[in-house]
Chain A
Amino acid sequence: MSEQTLIEAVNLALLHAMEQDEEVVLLGEDVGANGGVFRATDGLQQQFGPDRVMDTPLAENMIAGLAIGMAAEGLKPVAEIQFMGFIYPALDQIISHAGRLRNRTRGRLSCPMVLRAPFGAGIHAPEHHSESTEALFAHMPGVRVVIPSSPGRAYGLLLAAIADPDPVVFLEPKRIYRLVKEEFDANREPQPLDVCFTLRSGEDITLVSWGASVVETGEAATQLAKQGISAEVIDVATVSPIDMTTILESVAKTGRCVIIHEAARSGGIGADIAAGIGEHCLLDLLAPVIRVTGYDTIVPMARMEHLYLPAVDQIVTAAIQTMEFE
Chain B
Amino acid sequence: MRTAVAQFEIEHLGFLDPAGDLLGELPADIGSLEQIKRGYRLMVLTRLFDTRAVNLQRTGQMGTFPSSLGQEAVTVGFSLAMQDDDRFLPSYREHGAQLCRGVTLLEQLLYWGGDERGSDFQGPRKDFPLSVPIATQCLHATGIATAIKLRGEQQAVVVCCGDGATSKGDFYEAINVAGVWNLPVLFVVTNNHWAISVPRSAQSKAETLAQKAIAAGIDSLQVDGNDLLAMEYASRQALERARAGGGPFLIEALTYRMGDHTTADDARRYRDDEEVSKYWQQDPIPRIKAYLVAHAGWSKDDEEALQNDCKQQLEQAVKDYLATEPQPPEAMFDYLYANLPEAYATQRQQVIDKASTNPNGADHE
Contact = CB atoms under 8 A, between A and B. Distances in A.
Interface of A: 29-30, 32-35, 37, 55, 57-62, 85-86, 88-89, 122, 124-129, 175, 216, 219, 265, 295-298, 300-309, 311-314
A303 B196 CA distance: 25
Given A86-B133, A311-B361, A312-B363, 5 more contacts: A55-B197, A58-B195, A124-B114, A303-B114, A308-B332
Interface of B: 63-64, 92, 112-116, 130, 132-135, 164-165, 167-170, 195-198, 202-204, 264-265, 269-270, 326-327, 329, 331-333, 336, 344, 347, 350-351, 354-355, 357-358, 360-365
A127 B165 CA distance: 18
30 contacts: A29-B195, A29-B196, A33-B270, A34-B197, A37-B265, A55-B198, A57-B167, A58-B134, A59-B167, A61-B168, A62-B169, A88-B133, A89-B168, A122-B364, A124-B63, A125-B63, A125-B64, A126-B63, A127-B130, A128-B132, A295-B351, A297-B336, A300-B331, A300-B332, A301-B114, A303-B115, A307-B332, A307-B354, A309-B364, A311-B358
B338 to A, nearest CB: 15
Contact of A306 (B133, B134, B365): B365
B113 A303 contact: yes
A127 B132 contact: yes
A258 to B, nearest CB: 15
Contacts of B333: 295, 297
Contacts of A86: 133-134
A308 B361 CA distance: 9
B329 A58 contact: no
Contacts of A314: 354
Contact of A30 (B132, B133, B198): B198
Given A33-B270, A57-B204, A85-B132, A304 B331 contact: yes
Given A296-B344, A300-B332, A301-B114, A307 B361 contact: yes
A111 B265 CA distance: 33
Given A58-B198, A126-B63, A297-B333, A311 B134 contact: no
Contacts of B115: 301, 303
A61 B363 CA distance: 36
